[in-house]
Amino acid sequence: MRTRVLDLNMLLTLVTIADTGTVTAAAERLAYTQSTVSMQLNRLEAALGVPLHEKDGRRIRFTAEGQKLVGYARKMLELNNEAVDDVQQRQISGQLNLGIPEDYAFLLTSVLSHFNRLFPAVQLQVTCRSSVELVKQVQAGNMDLAVVTRQSRSPGGEVIRREPLMWAVGANAQPSLTDPIPLALYSPGADVFREVAEQALANAGRDWRMAYSSQSMTGLMPVVAAGLAVAVITRNMLTPQLRVIDERSGMPALQSVEIALHRPSGRPSEPAKQLAELIRSHLSTAE
């Protein structure tokens, strides 16, 4: 009996369409063109000789056969990744220097733990610094990989996630929102959050004053929770001690920031490639 082989790249496209709901969203996640995504889906249908989908407006609705194939595709991709991990974990070794902003360390703990299980021979060293400093360290060749936050459309690196920013105050506090607005921000030059806040307030013609500054969000949160100042956070940083305020409270809208992977020029080491893939996969789907 002749073995018929399904292309794993096409199956990955199929699963991504199922997860995102549209060809446009799948293309964006996979960094493909929309025509490439559509072509791969059509080729799968041609290879199997059955219709797998039908359009419902802009969304893709799978047929019964399509839904069945999505289930198989997930299992096949998982088995493929398991095989690659099992083979490579015995071969990859060396030292890997990773840089992350302190405020995103909590998002990556599970990824780093998984990486250590997969590649126990790799000596992983993690450094927490501001995004500005991390980029400098990568450019100087002192770091193999860095996860940084930056303003939208910044040059260099690989964008893996976009994060909306929001204003936060103490959950039970009523800080002054009249000019000059008291702010709790990173120290000058420490991170992009301050730049975005200053830009938004300037565009809105609002005056503000620096009430508290710190190199990390950890140092700012007690001050904000106590109602002494307003901070800029992402949704992941929201705690029960904080609440979000927006335009209804008179605060201007904030631009989103990008989370990007930065690597030195040249061919990355195998440990850096593997960790980058794990981080990319985790952050692109994290809530």
DSSP codes joined into one string, 31-66: T--HHHHHHHHHHHHHHHTS--EEEETTEEEE-HHH
* The pLDDT of residue 145: 95
Q: Can you read off the two tokens belonging to residue 98? A: 């990773």
Q: How many CB atoms lie within 10 A of CB 185?
A: 24
Q: Tell me yes or no: is domain 165-255 CATH 3.40.190.10.
A: yes
**Cβ within 8 Å of residue 98, ≥6 positions away:** 112, 124, 125, 126, 127, 143, 144, 145, 146, 147, 275
Write down the residue that tokens 């106590």 correspond to.
226
End-to-end Cα, the chain, rounded Å: 46
* The pLDDT of residue 28: 85
Residues of the chain with pLDDT under 50: none
* The pLDDT of residue 286: 55
* The pLDDT of residue 2: 62
Q: Where are the beta strands (DSSP E) in 171-230?
A: 181-186, 208-214
* The pLDDT of residue 280: 87
Residue 170, Cα to own-chain centre: how many angstroms?
Answer: 26
Helix, strand, coil percent content, the chain, rounded in steps of 5? 45, 25, 30
**Cβ within 8 Å of residue 162, ≥6 positions away:** 152, 256, 257, 258, 259
CA distance 115 to 25: 28
CATH class for the region spanning 8-88:
mainly alpha
Q: Can you read off the two tokens belonging to residue 121? A: 């021979």
* The pLDDT of residue 208: 94
* The pLDDT of residue 134: 92
Sort 74 into a burial class: Cβ within 10 Å, 0-12 / 13-18 / 19+.
middle
190 Rama class: left (phi>0) / alpha (psi -120 to 50) / beta: alpha
Every domain range in the chain assigned CATH 1.10.10.10: 8-88
The CATH architecture assigned to 94-162+258-285 reads: 3-Layer(aba) Sandwich (3.40)
Select from 47, 37, 42 the least CA-distant residue to 17: 37
Every domain range in the chain assigned CATH 3.40.190.10: 94-162+258-285, 165-255
Based on its alpha-carbon atoms, the radius of gyration of the chain, rounded to whole angstroms, reads 23
CA distance 210 to 203: 18
* The pLDDT of residue 189: 61
